[in-house]
Structure 1
Amino acid sequence: MTWKRRVLKVVKWGFITGLVLTLVGIAGFIYLYKTTDIPEPNAELLTNATFVYYDDGETELGRFATQFRDSLTYEEMPQNIKDAVVAAEDQSFWTNSGIDPKGILRAVFNNASGGSQQGASTITQQYVKILYLTQERSYERKVKEAILSLKIQREYSKEQVLTGYLNTIYFGRGAYGIEAAADVYFNKKAADLTLRETAVLASVLNNPNGLDPADGKAVRLELKGRYEYVLGAMASEGYITDEDAEQARRKLPKFPEQDVEDSYGGQTGHALTLIKNQVLGLTNAETDAPFTEEEIDGGGLRITTTLTSKAMKAAEEGVEEVRPKGFPGAKDLHLAAATVEPGTGALRGFYAGQDFLDSQLNWAVAGGQAGSTFKPFAVAAGLKQGFALKDTFDGNSPYEIEGTDDEVENQGDEDYGSAVSLTSATENSINTAFIDLTIAMDDGPESIIETAESMGIPPAKAKRRGAYGIPTSSPGLEPVTGVALGSQTVSPINMANGYATVANEGVAADVHVISKVVNKAGDVLYEHKVTDERAISADIASDVSYAMQQVTEAGSGTRANLDDGRPIAGKTGTATKDGGAVSSSWFVGYTPQLSTAVMMVRGVGNGQLDDWVPSSEDGVDGYFGGNYPAKTWKAIMERDLEGVDPEDFPEPAFVDGEAPSDGHAPYTPPPAPSTTRQPPKTPSIDPNPPTSEPTQDPSPTQEPPPTQEPPPTSPPEPPETSTPPEPPQTSAPPTSPPAPAPPAGPPNPRERSRSPRRRPSRTRRAPAVR
């Protein structure tokens, strides 16, 4: 056989082999095309960021996102960005069949030779790879990509493909899609992008991690080269004129300064965590089921909250202004605050105690032992049962609880007399008087808890139905004799809402932070309806408020008074744990417009505050609720009430019902002896009872108990004490024996209470707080 015949034979068989292989390849491709179904899209690429707003529904507070994306329709996308991406990525997009045969062959040869994969994929192929496949670099994936691209091309229009691509492609900085990219690079909507800005984004998507203009001059220089290419391609394709391209080439657009702060830093992380938890407990009207995390993180929801940027800023700045600093372990001190609007229950602002990046524990929600801030609920309960502010209770210390080995003492073991008015007991935070009140009531502990719950304090354990509060429980809220002294754990949010009921003349509203939830189309999925209910009568509310006004006028809360002189009411509180160490310190107060609670705790919430928190400049112990908490309350409310007109509280009603037990009638001093030579002596005056209540003789049914010492006829001498004395209150009529008249000086936060203590021979000490 001649060599020519041999060559012809090789060519023949080579042709036949090639033809067979080609036919087999075509047949295989047809088979794969027919047997390959379009898979489910990668779930995260169908997500949209959920945006969270302040109460105005416009100012963004934060967002939830599996991937930060906010999808647009084709019509909503600016024409410049569509033209720029097509010119830069796939100039034949509008005419090709969805695949790039050259790119497929290049992938085959590069994989066979061990080289790196090169580009030249169409927009359709890139979209398929993103939406359905993985970033694996292999021949098999490239073939599958081509098959799916052909199928997508037949099932979807070019406009649909380009829309999907521009909504899913990654632009860097955590942004997926053109709307998110416009936000993170230029702080604007995609619809507002200029030609220069669209050319930058079309350039960046080619290499998101390598062309970010925030990465320095060298990167900007590289970006400039790609940017000029994109503008030139747009001009050559006829999307813009040569003049427009030349003018835009001269310089890159201005880039706003990038916010490098973590999106969850400061109080934002605390707010978003609180908001997510609250939304998870709501029902989606569209599905008639609770919202899910998937809906929140990727459902494109729009959540409007009750929070205001003013109140959030006021809380943070107020805490930081007053917080003691520079002492050992100062980072372990947590000052938390919450502000609630009376009448609506809307949470307007809070401070969690620290930056979210330092600790994710929100002390405005976690709370602490309430201490004496719980006493106003006991006042309300007592008035409901028929007692009056002028009625008297045992203010001497210690108070022995009949039938037990327990006894309760006042701060400094101070005696206030055997018959002090309920007003005085509140003003001076007299523990023994509140124990006497509780025992004198019908089912006192239960009544106090019932009243507190009706006013907005959640029960010890959350109820499955009708749960309210943030959080929905108050651990330790049990019907014990010392419940008014506050050993239970209550959150500042719930405490602020409980006091807001008094500010709202006795009508309680459920505290809430979610105002409205809508989907991306604007359909309302949830909208809060204010639910309120009368908890106490308006007259009782005015009397409770009157008693708390005395706390801020002359009692332990004077440091909370606002510079503009507007009326305020409030109560200090300091709780002690087993062993007597102070574990929490409070001031809770309100005006008719806002109610704010401030709590101070240490470490994990029960660290010792006394002998640790430094005294203030005026020498008052740092742990008192009337010190840092009261001053923090003032700093917050000064900011929050700026520009808000002052309002007065209702006048006290001085309700006086049918008391449930005897022995608590107002004290009336006996007439002073008189002679023919001297005028009668003026009766001694109790500085604490209501100013407008006339003097009354004790009724026969309200005599002091036989075991009680008769009331003194003149003010007792003030006992020696190591704590700074309270300033006297100077305007009140005589209805009960006067409290000791202390010398002038800084107000003493007499709110620290002690639990029943143990006497070696006959008593036992039990932890108690107030």
Structure 2
Amino acid sequence: MTTASRPGARRAEPKPSAARAWFAKVEPAKVWAAEKLAEARDAAAKRSESGSSGSKGPKSATWRRWAKLSAKVALVGFLALALIGSVTAIVAYNRIQVPDPNAEFEVETSFVYYSNGKTELGRYQDGDQNRIKLEADEIPEMVKHAVVAAEDRTFYENSGVDVKGILRAAFSNTTEGTSGGASTITQQYVKNYYLSAERSYSRKLKEAVIALKLTRQKSKDQILTDYLNTIYFNRGAYGIEAAAKAYFAKPTKDLSLSDTAALAAILNNPAGFDPASSKFRGEEKLLGRYQYVLSGMVALGYLKQVEADKVKDALPKFPAKTVPSRLGGQRGHALTMIKAELLGLKGADGKPLFTEEKIDSGGLRITATLSPKVMKASASAAKTVKPKNRKAYVPGDPEQKNALHVATASVDVESGALLGFYGGQDYLDSQHNWAATGGHAGSTMKVFATAAAIEKGYSLKSTWAGDSPFTTYAGSEVVNEGEQAGVADGMDYGQHITMLKAMEQSVNTAYIDMTESMGGPQAGRKAIYDTAVAAGLAPAKPNPKFPGIPSTTTDFDHKTDDRIALGRANVSPINLANAYATIANGGYRHDVHVVKKVRDRAGNVLYSWNGTKNGRHAMSEDIAADVTYAMQGVVQSGSGQKAQSIGHPVAGKTGTATCGGSQHVCTSWFAGFTPQVATAVRYSRGNGEGKLDGGWMPSYFGADYPTETWAAIMAKAMEGKEAESFPEPVYVDGQDPESGHEEQLIAPPPPPEEDKECDPIAEFFGACGDDKGRDDRRKHDD
């Protein structure tokens, strides 16, 4: 290993005997101490002579003899003590071992990056310790030279302990009443990394012995590197790299000469020399220390005087100290999800790959799947599209009954990677991530009922009950939307309507008929449940084969929920976006995930997402094509028409759900996809079941705010991507499980009628031919 040193300096070769090495270092100090004692004795004798000038009698002769005797006794005593001290030091050297490092100085900040692997998303750290370790060759020589000039100018020559310095400090402290230290860089490193700041002779002895041993075990350059990775600079920054970023917002490699000298000066008194500290001693004192560093660099041959003169008269400009929250905005939500996923990862042996301690203090470099562009677009859309009078967080409202939660999630179709999300509000206001929280799915669940029915043998041309109300096998009534507009028992769409029309117009009665016609009500409910879980919705109970964010879906019971197709289940936007991505991907599912790769500080890959291992078919490619075609009808002719604004082919589904005995609208959705990206948007209030209708929102329909929010996100997410086409429909047609759903049952269209004035209610629901404002509604018992 190459050892950096100042010009002309050579490190002595290690001596074979530790004892002889100690004697060799102590002997000059003993001589120096004897000289100092002799000087003190002579000074005392002179004072004695001057005080008794003119007296040359027997008394003065006796005094001189007594003084000489006392000096000899003192010298002998000192030498004896020195010998005893030497022997004691040798014994201590042999008995004191280098201990294990202090745990807190072993920690290193772990960094999380966006999907590009360069832009920092956030970090994990143990408490307040922000530490970024560097290798020896990553620290510029200029930085090493400045620190040596500031803290220990004999660093490359001393043995780790400056014995003369220690005795000089002790002598000065005793005779002059001053208080000063004599720690070398090695001793400072030992104190921080191995020992403590305790003030005692025993600790000082241990420090000296360990410093001597380390000097024999490590190169000077390695000791200096370790020192620069552990020393504290204030501002929560441990080590030179964290300090460079905390003070000058740049990495160590980009520090200028003045930046470097200033940081080296701050080391002497981190709190007192930090310009942003409340204990700052003033610019004049910092400037003096700064100039001391520069002059030392010149004296040691590290720097030319002309270079020092260019910067010596003024300190560098310190950027205004900023304290960006590590968790503010969506960072806290993102870091929480990322850590949860890391803790759930297991190796081939079934053991966890990462512990919380490793994540917080292991110096990991984590690349997330999140795109800075999509994250920014999600936050912007959630904040700007919503009604201006509704807030994501309401101060003074502990239950947040009047908070509007806009939750979004975008997933990459080909990989299942979570590209972006919006958790409903700033993490500092509330740690509840609504993008990872279930809410009643409403009519967005009809997509999975469509896929299940085709799998069972029906086709897009099969027919279903379109008139309202519809009596279920259990005797309860299901109605279509329209009651709130004054249409008794909901809208009628015809005795028999195709699956395509049922999807386009989101006809509740048709989907209950569909559910009960897949081999019986129970078999139909189970088929819808299995299809939804296979595509990407989390199951009712945790199952490692079907993970999700979160890992379960509440109120998702195929055994008792006879209206499962109408979306009582509490689905998160993240899981719904991933399930729709499966359909967009030809029925091939990838688990949704937020961690792309994990490396250690040295760059070794500890984990990497394996798309091949985590992918599998959830439905056939032909069924996915037919479902996609049906969903395109929603965007082209149904309630999702505002999604067309992004200029790409879109397939999607709106949804609203009702809650409570009053059957008020509590969630409003739009979820859809292009061939590349799937996004889900949900609006909810308060605890997730607050009332959206009745005037609280200007519009509670999924066709409005949710679809507009979706379009704003996707317009940015699709920038730079080619407009790809969806596959043509296959019209998969198997054997109908039950009769009575044939296409032929649809009555031929009646002859054209003369134009007549349209009924206002029919006009509201788009039944007048050219009205495109229809949206879906659905009701169920909570």
Contact map agreement 1:283 1:526 (CA 8 A) in 2: no
From the CA coordinates, give the structure whose radius of gyration is larger.
2
Specify the alignment match of 1:499 in structure 2: 580
Specify the alignment match of 1:32 in structure 2: 92
Structure with greater helix share of residues: 2
Specify the alignment match of 1:486 in structure 2: 567
Specify the alignment match of 1:570 in structure 2: 652
Report the secondary structure of 2:631's partner residue. helix
Report the secondary structure of 2:270's partner residue. coil
Specify the alignment match of 1:209 in structure 2: 271
- Report the Cα distance in structure 2 between the residues aligned to 1:123 and 1:56, rounded to whole angstroms: 39
Specify the alignment match of 1:754 in structure 2: 779
- Report the Cα distance in structure 2 between the residues aligned to 1:269 and 1:414, rounded to whole angstroms: 44
Contact map agreement 2:666 2:692 (CA 8 A) in 1: yes
- Report the Cα distance in structure 1 between the residues aligned to 2:87 and 2:405, rounded to whole angstroms: 72
Cα offset for 1:747? Answer: 1.2
After superposition, give the CA deviation of every residue in 1:208-239 in whole Å (9 maximum; x if it has no partner). 22333456998555433322221111011111
Specify the alignment match of 1:468 in structure 2: 547
Specify the alignment match of 2:399 in structure 1: none
- Report the Cα distance in structure 2 between the residues aligned to 1:161 and 1:174, rounded to whole angstroms: 22
After superposition, give the CA deviation of every residue in 1:719-753 in whole Å (9 maximum; x if it has no partner). 985x98233xxxxxxxxxxxxx24765613223x1
Cα offset for 1:17? Answer: 6.1
Cα offset for 1:289? Answer: 4.2
- Report the Cα distance in structure 2 between the residues aligned to 1:29 and 1:542, rounded to whole angstroms: 83
**Which sections of structure 1, spanning at least 5 residues, go unmatched?**
616-620, 673-680, 685-713, 728-740, 756-765
Normalized against structure 1, the TM-score is what?
0.83
Specify the alignment match of 1:691 in structure 2: none
- Report the Cα distance in structure 1 between the residues aligned to 2:216 and 2:470, rounded to whole angstroms: 88
Specify the alignment match of 2:248 in structure 1: 186
Specify the alignment match of 1:522 in structure 2: 603
After superposition, give the CA deviation of every residue in 1:536-562 in whole Å (9 maximum; x if it has no partner). 222222221122122222222223331
Report the secondary structure of 2:682's partner residue. strand
After superposition, give the CA deviation of every residue in 1:68-91 in whole Å (9 maximum; x if it has no partner). 222222222211011100001100
- Report the Cα distance in structure 2 between the residues aligned to 1:563 and 1:159, rounded to whole angstroms: 58
Specify the alignment match of 1:406 in structure 2: 476
Matched, 1:156 2:218: yes
Contact map agreement 1:339 1:348 (CA 8 A) in 2: yes
Cα offset for 1:154? Answer: 2.6
Which shifted more, 155-164 or 209-218? 209-218
Structure 1 residues 112 and 221, CA gap change in structure 2 (3 angstroms): closer
After superposition, give the CA deviation of every residue in 1:279-315 in whole Å (9 maximum; x if it has no partner). 2222368996421122222222222222111111111
Match among 542, 559, 563 for residue 642 of structure 2: 559
Q: How many residues align?
A: 694
Structure 1 residues 28 and 669, CA gap change in structure 2 (3 angstroms): closer
Specify the alignment match of 1:337 in structure 2: 408
Cα offset for 1:445? Answer: 0.8
Specify the alignment match of 1:376 in structure 2: 447
- Report the Cα distance in structure 2 between the residues aligned to 1:297 and 1:179, rounded to whole angstroms: 18
Structure 1 residues 525 and 262, CA gap change in structure 2 (3 angstroms): same
One-letter amino acid matched to 1:240: L
- Report the Cα distance in structure 1 between the residues aligned to 2:344 and 2:748, rounded to whole angstroms: 64
Which shifted more, 574-583 or 254-263? 254-263
Cα offset for 1:126? Answer: 0.7
- Report the Cα distance in structure 2 between the residues aligned to 1:553 and 1:670, rounded to whole angstroms: 24
Where do 1:254-403 residues align within 5 Å? Answer: 254-256=317-319, 258-283=321-346, 289-327=352-390, 331=394, 332-402=403-473
Cα offset for 1:21? Answer: 5.1
Specify the alignment match of 2:5 in structure 1: none
Specify the alignment match of 1:726 in structure 2: 765
Report the secondary structure of 2:268's partner residue. coil
After superposition, give the CA deviation of every residue in 1:614-635 in whole Å (9 maximum; x if it has no partner). 20xxxxx2x2222211111011
Matched, 1:233 2:296: yes
Which shifted more, 604-613 or 207-216? 207-216
- Report the Cα distance in structure 2 between the residues aligned to 1:252 and 1:724, rounded to whole angstroms: 75
Match among 658, 661, 676 for residue 738 of structure 2: 661
Specify the alignment match of 1:509 in structure 2: 590
Where do 1:704-719 residues align within 5 Å? Answer: none
Specify the alignment match of 1:638 in structure 2: 715
Match among 542, 545, 549 for residue 632 of structure 2: 549
- Report the Cα distance in structure 2 between the residues aligned to 1:219 and 1:539, rounded to whole angstroms: 75
Cα offset for 1:474? Answer: 1.7
Matched, 1:75 2:101: no
- Report the Cα distance in structure 2 between the residues aligned to 1:283 and 1:641, rounded to whole angstroms: 34
Matched, 1:200 2:262: yes
- Report the Cα distance in structure 1 between the residues aligned to 2:392 and 2:323, rounded to whole angstroms: 29
Specify the alignment match of 2:13 in structure 1: none
Structure 1 residues 605 and 134, CA gap change in structure 2 (3 angstroms): farther
Contact map agreement 2:247 2:319 (CA 8 A) in 1: yes
Matched, 1:444 2:524: yes
Structure 1 residues 329 and 186, CA gap change in structure 2 (3 angstroms): closer
One-letter amino acid matched to 1:62: G
- Report the Cα distance in structure 2 between the residues aligned to 1:227 and 1:10, rounded to whole angstroms: 48
Cα offset for 1:376? Answer: 0.1
Where do 1:137-152 residues align within 5 Å? Answer: 137-152=199-214
Match among 529, 537, 542 for residue 457 of structure 1: 537
Contact map agreement 2:409 2:680 (CA 8 A) in 1: yes
Structure 1 residues 34 and 450, CA gap change in structure 2 (3 angstroms): same
Contact map agreement 2:460 2:626 (CA 8 A) in 1: yes
One-letter amino acid matched to 2:577: A
Report the secondary structure of 2:418's partner residue. strand
Contact map agreement 1:104 1:142 (CA 8 A) in 2: no
Report the secondary structure of 1:383's partner residue. helix
Cα offset for 1:498? Answer: 0.6
Contact map agreement 1:117 1:137 (CA 8 A) in 2: no
- Report the Cα distance in structure 1 between the residues aligned to 2:746 and 2:391, rounded to whole angstroms: 52
Contact map agreement 2:496 2:746 (CA 8 A) in 1: no
Structure 1 residues 155 and 658, CA gap change in structure 2 (3 angstroms): same
**Which sections of structure 2, spanning at least 5 residues, go unmatched?**
1-57, 395-402, 484-488
Specify the alignment match of 1:597 in structure 2: 680
- Alpha-carbon RMSD across the aligned residues, in angstroms, is 3.2
Specify the alignment match of 1:415 in structure 2: 491
Structure 1 residues 40 and 718, CA gap change in structure 2 (3 angstroms): farther
One-letter amino acid matched to 2:476: D
- Report the Cα distance in structure 2 between the residues aligned to 1:142 and 1:743, rounded to whole angstroms: 92
Report the secondary structure of 1:51's partner residue. strand
Cα offset for 1:241? Answer: 0.7
Identity of aligned residues (%): 47
Contact map agreement 2:497 2:746 (CA 8 A) in 1: no
Specify the alignment match of 1:618 in structure 2: none
Matched, 1:583 2:666: yes
Specify the alignment match of 2:693 in structure 1: 610
Cα offset for 1:646? Answer: 1.7
Which shifted more, 120-129 or 26-35? 26-35
